Amino acid sequence: MMIFESFSQTNTENFGREMALAAKSGEIYALIGDLAAGKTAFSRGFARGLGIESDITSPTFGIVNEYSGRLSLYHFDVYRIKHVQEMEDTGYEEYFWGSGVSLVEWADIIEEILPQNAILVCFERDANKGDDFRRITITRGRP
Note the pLDDT tens digit of each residue in 40-68.
Answer: 999 999 999 999 998 887 766 678 899 99
Percent of the chain with pLDDT over 70: 97
Per-residue model confidence (pLDDT) at position 85: 83
In the chain, helix, strand, coil percent, each to 5? 30, 25, 40
Per-residue model confidence (pLDDT) at position 60: 63
SS3 102: strand
Per-residue model confidence (pLDDT) at position 59: 65
Which positions ≥6 away from 91 have C-beta within 8 Å? none
- Which is more confidently placed, 114 or 63? 114
- Which is more confidently placed, 61 or 80? 80
Q: Decide if pLDDT at 142 tops 70.
A: no
Angstrom distance (rounded) from CA 143 to CA 118 = 9
pLDDT-derived band at 73, boundaries 50, 70, 90: very high
From the number of C-beta atoms within 10 Å of its C-beta (0-12, 13-18, 19+), residue 71 rates as: buried
Q: Which domains does the chain have, with CATH numbers?
A: 2-140 (3.40.50.300)
